[in-house]
Amino acid sequence: IHHPTTMMLIAAGKPVLCEKPLAENYQRASEMADAAEQAGIINMVNLTYRNVAPLQRARAMVLAGEIGSVRHVEASYLQSWLVSKFWGDWRTDPKWLWRLSRGHGSNGVLGDVGIHILDFASYGAALDIDHVFCRLRSFDKAPGNRIGEYELDANDSFTMALDFSNGAFGVVHASRWATGHLNELRLRIYGDKGGIEVVHNLKSSELKACMGEDIEDAKWQVLDAGTVPTNYQRFVDAVRNRVQAEPSFRHAAELQKVLDLAIVSDEKRAELRAHADTQ
């Protein structure tokens, strides 16, 4: 839906704010980015966790050198709807069942939230993704792993090992089996002069840092992240001022490249070069 609709809007010279994912694969996402850039129209992708103020403050701290050179990044996106009925019963509700079935168009948790946590990690750490090694796993959830017309074969969990452009290591994972976590993103960024942690869930968002003298006794301080404009507000401002804002189609396409390579990486059990401009 996103590709044909957006391409028509671009052809008409209209600015576009597109929901994620930009497209179902890197080729089509790249086509959209190319077309938007050639047409010179304002384009953005609604990666909603850019609205999290602690993430924006964390990135600013990294760019300001407050934690030194980034050495290690940990990021997770944890959900529990396969073990909790908070969002409804996936066993009987088609709006959840299709997310578990490749035959119904799902790429599992990787396709559902992978772009969010990759953006959370690479944007927060202000780093490009250089290499990726990924493992995907689908667990049996019903007799014959099927409920009615739905074959439950889409991945439930993934783990990724990343190399970032500056040589830092990254560990990124997501799961729908994370008991006790309804919908939580967590990011830890460790540099040679300090560390930062961002936690965002349904109840709150928090930023903590361990820097300076606190490093010696591992003391973490909660920081005020303030407030930030939403993606919608920034899109409107971009259109009014005729100045391109982020996250752009190009950025989303580069993230899609990593997601596509993650699937191939799992199939081949191999580390793959991404060279993706994701920061």
Containing domain of residue 22, as a range? Answer: 2-45
The CATH number of whichever domain residue 163 belongs to comes to: 3.30.360.10
For residues 231 and 134, state if they share a domain: yes
For residues 56 and 151, state if they share a domain: yes
For residues 119 and 95, state if they share a domain: yes
For residues 181 and 207, state if they share a domain: yes
pTM for this prediction:
0.95
What's the number of domains the chain is made of? 2
pLDDT tens digits along 131-168:
999 999 999 999 999 999 999 999 999 999 999 999 99
For residues 270 and 186, state if they share a domain: yes
For residues 157 and 246, state if they share a domain: yes
In this structure, are residues 277 and 128 in contact, taking their beta carbons and an 8 Å threshold?
yes
For residues 171 and 106, state if they share a domain: yes
In this structure, are residues 69 and 165 in contact, taking their beta carbons and an 8 Å threshold?
no
pLDDT tens digits along 81-134:
999 999 999 999 999 999 999 999 999 999 999 999 999 999 999 999 999 999
Domain boundary among 11, 30, 45: 45
For residues 138 and 93, state if they share a domain: yes
